[in-house]
Chain A
Amino acid sequence: MSVSGGKNIMVYVETVSQSPVSGALEVLSKAHKLAADRGEKVIAVLIGMDLEEAARTSILAGADQAIMVKRETYDMEVFGEVLTKLAEKYRPSLILSAGTLAGKDIMPMVACRLHTGCAVDVMDITETDGQLVFTCPVYGGTVLNQLIITGTPAIGVVRSGAFAKELISERTGEILEEKVETEDTNRLKIIDVVKEMAEAVNLEEAEVIVSGGRGMGSLENFKLVEQLAEACHGVVGATRPAIEAEWVPRSHQVGQSGKIVAPKLYIACGISGATQHVSGMIGSGYIVAINKDEDAPVFDIADVGIVGDAVKVIPLLIEEIKRISSR
């Protein structure tokens, strides 16, 4: 069924352990601004159990209304159907979600069922002549497309860090529960969920990220990246070659096929600056690059570049940082 003549912005708020993921709160804050300009409201949708606290957080982040739908476990198809049915009932003009793996799974399905289009990896949303314009990277981020979605509702999956999260404690809104009937087709049956990572790697929310690339040379040298991250109270990131060399698990990957990050400080160690990596960290506030190749493209985007072997530079840098922070 298609939904036409919509109004208001619906945001799917993904939760992990009953808390909204950071990306969803960023999207809510952006939606709040867009809706205010259009005289519309923001409807957050949360699916799971015991989500009252998460619903309240969604209101603080910018939702006017938070709808909770009870489901015991995650199922892409069921979650997609819940959102589709709520979209048919509430008729939004725009549906947004954070660019998590789940968001990228569910939203295309909703788009397909509503016969509309879904823009992914959205970096910006603006309004021109009443039309919503989405900015999306192509060719690894060296080119940007500004596009409109002709179907209704428009659907967007937003890149993490694209918008700032603003939690305002004075905000109020309505929290309600909806019962949504879904057909359990069981096309795909989840039989096990395996957590490989000892601890969650939260690159998207990190204020400081220290990343290592091929130039670190070995597993042993890569430990220097970890030590520098510790000295800066940051999180460890990595490029694809470092992941493939198994110096660090895949959950640390920054770049087009990994995480898109925007920390306040990003230190790139032994990273040449290939487009695939740079497109994932170009939104960082301040970039420091350490590389022995003077012509490495990473220096073109760095605020401070140190030409030198990262293996020799990092220990000195750690010492300096410790000295300064102990003052």
Chain B
Amino acid sequence: MELLVCIKQVPDDSVEISLDPVSKTPALQGVTPVVNAFDTYALEMAARLKEAHGGEITVVSIGGEDVKNSLKNCLAVGADNAYLVKEEAAFSHDPAGIAKTLKKAIGEIEKDRGKPFDLIFCGKESTDYASSQVGLFLGEESSLPVAANVISVEPVEGGIKLKQETEEGYRVMEAALPCVVTIQKPNYDPRYPTIKSKMAARKKEITELSPIENLESQFKVLQILEPPKRAAGVKIKGDNIQEAVTEAMSVMTKARIF
């Protein structure tokens, strides 16, 4: 199977991002760029699919020169080829703009490689903007079947069978290929690179692609704010836990909680 995984580079989501008091923009300086967590789950799922059924994995991203580092990290954990749509201002696009850019890139990559993709993976959302729409827009723009919140995929005759998470469990669905899926965290973790796979990844070429000029966004950000801070209440500590609990209960009963 020919597998494509769409990757977004995001600021490390274990770091709390605040607003820069002077510029009133998110303070991202010094925050390590990483591959979006849900995209790493997608790549791992693709890697397992490739190991079981053969094929190749291509990764594609949109962004500046620094995104090549994230793509190299993908090459070290299962991806065979990497492409970058070179666009410094990618962050200013809305999901529709990103999906259109990906659609164009997919056409170019397929031409470059001489074969079409069977399955296109995205993370179910990014940890920074979390719009959860790029995969859905990509499917819709390309008139392909698209399923969000997918937790497993397996090839079957004439297409793929997938599991989509629901509020109460999951749906089992079938689709013809090609198909777009957005990946929710499955019950396994992405693999780590080895020194050997890192070295091999470093030597690989990353092919650059050109963006779409003058994409229009459907959004205009008027203002960036910090959420109102919740004031801390009372913190009770003491050597005697029973006393601490009693004290806490008296605060709560006064507040009419119990």
- Asked if A305 meets B136 with Cβ closer than 8 Å, knowing A143-B26, A149-B218, A313-B241, the reply is no
CB of B137 within 8 A of CB of A112, answer: yes
Cα(A279)–Cα(B195), bound, Å: 37
Which of A100, A151, A308 is the most central at the interface, judged by chain B CB atoms within 10 Å of its CB? A308
A112-B96, A120-B132 given; A325·B171 CB < 8 A: no
Q: Are B172 and A191 in contact (CB under 8 A)?
A: yes
A125 to chain B, nearest CB (A): 13
* Among A135, A139, A145, A288, residue most surrounded by chain B Cβ atoms (within 10 Å): A139
CB A33 to nearest CB in B, in angstroms, measures 21
- Which of A139, A147, A192, A307 is B171 in contact with, Cβ under 8 Å? A192
A189 touches B26 (CB 8 A): no
* Closest B residue to A208 using CB positions: B257
- Kindly state whether residue B236 has any CB partner on chain A within 8 Å: yes
- B226/A143 in contact, CB under 8 A: yes
Q: A140-B13, A188-B145, A190-B173 are in contact. Are A286 and B249 (CB under 8 A)?
A: no
Size of interface on B: residues with Cβ below 8 Å to A: 75
Contact call A325/B258, Cβ cutoff below 8 A: yes
Interface assignment of B89: CB less than 8 Å from any CB of chain A: no
User: B149–A113 contact, CB under 8 A?
Assistant: no
Enumerate A272-290 residues with CB–CB distance to B below 8 Å: 274-276, 282, 286-288
Closest chain A residue, CB of each to CB of B137? A112
Select one of B132, B237, B255 contacting A294, CB under 8 A. B237
Within 8 A of B (CB), among A184-198: 187-197
Contact A305 B171 (CB under 8 A): no
Distance, CA A140 to CA B258, complexed state (A): 32
Bound-complex Cα distance A307 to B239 (A): 10
Q: How far is the CA of A151 from the CA of B233 in the complex (A)?
A: 43
Contacts of A301 in B (CB 8 A): 230, 232
- Asked if A299 contacts B175 (CB within 8 A), the reply is no
Residues of A near B133 (CB, < 8 A) are: 108, 111, 118, 120
> B166 in the interface, Cβ–Cβ < 8 Å?
yes
Is the beta-carbon distance between A105 and B148 smaller than 8 angstroms? yes
Nearest chain B residue, comparing its CB with the CB of A133: B222
Hey, which chain A residues are within 8 Å of B145, CB to CB? 187-188
How many residues of chain A have a CB within 8 Å of chain B?
75
| B169 contact from A116, A139, A189, A193, Cβ within 8 A | A193
B164 → A minimal CB distance (Å): 9
CA separation between A325 and B233, bound complex, in Å? 24
Q: Is B192 an interface residue (CB 8 A)?
A: no
Q: Which residues does chain B contribute within 8 Å of A304, judged by CB atoms?
A: 233-234, 236, 248, 251-252
A145 and B224 CA atoms in complex are apart in Å by 5
Q: Which of A85-93, A174-182, A219-227, A316-324 contacts B (4 or more CB under 8 A)?
A: A316-324
What residues on B are CB-neighbors of A145 within 8 Å?
Answer: 221, 223-224
Q: Which residues of A contact B32 (CB under 8 A)?
A: none
Q: Please state if A282 and B245 are interface contacts (CB–CB under 8 Å).
A: no
Interface, chain B (partner A; CB < 8 A): 11, 13-14, 16-19, 26, 94-96, 99, 127-133, 136-137, 140-141, 144-149, 161, 165-176, 179, 185, 217-227, 230, 232-237, 241-242, 244-246, 248-249, 251-253, 255, 257-258
Shortest 9 CB-CB distances between A and B: which pairs? A117-B218, A307-B237, A196-B169, A187-B145, A303-B233, A139-B17, A192-B172, A305-B235, A108-B133
* A-B contacts, 19 listed (Cβ < 8 Å): A101-B148, A101-B149, A101-B165, A108-B133, A112-B140, A117-B218, A137-B130, A143-B17, A146-B221, A150-B219, A188-B145, A189-B175, A190-B171, A192-B171, A195-B168, A197-B169, A282-B230, A313-B244, A320-B246
